[in-house]
Amino acid sequence: MRAIWKGSISFGLVNIPIALYPATRREELKFRLLRQSDHSPVNYKRVAEKDGKEVAWDQIVKGYEYEKGKFVVLSEKDFQRVDLEATQTVDIQDFVDVEEIDPMYFYKPYFLEPQKGGDKAYVLLRDVLAKTGKVGIAKVIIKTRQYLAGVKALNHALVLELMHFEQELSDAEKLNVPKKMEPGKREIDMAEALVKSMSSKWNPAKYKDDYRDALLEVIEEKVEAGGKEIDSKPKEKKTPSKVIDLVAILQESLAHSGSGRKKKTTRKASSREAA
């Protein structure tokens, strides 16, 4: 795996050389646009709005639209003028209890790998974060923008998780959501019972991308059929019912949940007997 960024973590006078690696991968299926008549791939072109002519990469510059239709061009020197030193440093400014941070702030994790001479300080920071339950709140510049980020301990590794700045989050108070409505005691009791009956230990391997798997099946069928259209009816969509009687819906949900659990335990018991 190739590092996407190299620099250092700093807190106080401690400096740890690190490399940044993606901690996630996208599993989306990639599609090409084709011409319908002969399946020739359709390419994207960089076209100028003014005259519709294609523009070569070496003729493209970066511009900021400060008014409608008015731009100021920024050169590489302009970007370099913005605190060069900070571009190579994950500068931890505070250590905060992880429970204090709203999960909405976190959005993209990266693994941090120690570079030559950084092992001891890396282990020290990792173990202290794990022991105290703290997150190092830092600022880091990657490419051409600054990010807020959290440095966390995860098993044997340190993780840098990019965060939103406060001004990037929308205000939920602007939503038209019920605030003073209170459900009845029976509804609350049954809802709690339903949650309890559906509760289990967190197992991420249990959850699969069903849409991607189903789409892959369709693709494989079409490949086997030589790319021809397959005559099959689309799956019927479930139409959600309008919630009128909450108690009745909760009772039905509890019944389904209970029967589902019984089937699972019965399967487990039968497999043990067979063994």
Is residue 42 situated within a structural domain?
no
pLDDT band with cut points at 50, 70 and 90 for residue 9? confident
Query: Residue 120: its pLDDT value, please?
Result: 93
Q: What is the pLDDT of residues 80-90, one digit of tens each?
A: 776 555 567 88
Average pLDDT over residues 19-37: 79
Cα separation, 27 vs 29, whole angstroms? 7
Query: Residue 270: its pLDDT value, please?
Result: 47
Is residue 44 situated within a structural domain?
no
Is residue 113 situated within a structural domain?
yes
Of 156-170, 174-188, 189-203, least confident by mean pLDDT is 174-188
Q: Which is nearest to 151 in space by CA: 124, 189, 172, 120?
A: 124
Partners of residue 92 on adjacent β-strands: 138
Backbone angles phi, psi at 150, to 5 degrees: -115, 130
Query: Residue 214: its pLDDT value, please?
Result: 82
Query: Residue 1: its pLDDT value, please?
Result: 75
Is residue 107 situated within a structural domain?
yes
Q: What is the pLDDT of residues 196-206, one digit of tens each?
A: 888 889 888 88
Cα separation, 3 vs 88, whole angstroms? 13
* Contact between 159 and 110 (Cβ < 8 Å): yes
Is residue 91 situated within a structural domain?
yes
Number of domains in the chain: 1
Q: Is the pLDDT of residue 272 over 50?
A: no
CATH at 158: 2.40.290.10
**Host domain of residue 140:** 5-24+81-168
pLDDT band with cut points at 50, 70 and 90 for residue 271? very low
Query: Residue 257: its pLDDT value, please?
Result: 75
Is residue 14 situated within a structural domain?
yes
Query: Residue 275: its pLDDT value, please?
Result: 45
Is residue 151 situated within a structural domain?
yes
Q: Is the pLDDT of residue 23 over 90?
A: no
> Any idea how long the chain is?
275
Two tokens, residue 163:
């965060």
pLDDT band with cut points at 50, 70 and 90 for residue 248? confident
Between 239 and 57, name the one with better pLDDT: 57
Between 78 and 239, name the one with better pLDDT: 78
Between 232 and 38, name the one with better pLDDT: 38
- Could you tell me the pTM of the whole model? 0.65
Q: What is the pLDDT of residues 125-160, one digit of tens each?
A: 999 999 999 999 999 888 767 899 999 999 999 999
Q: Is the pLDDT of residue 273 over 60?
A: no
Is residue 227 situated within a structural domain?
no
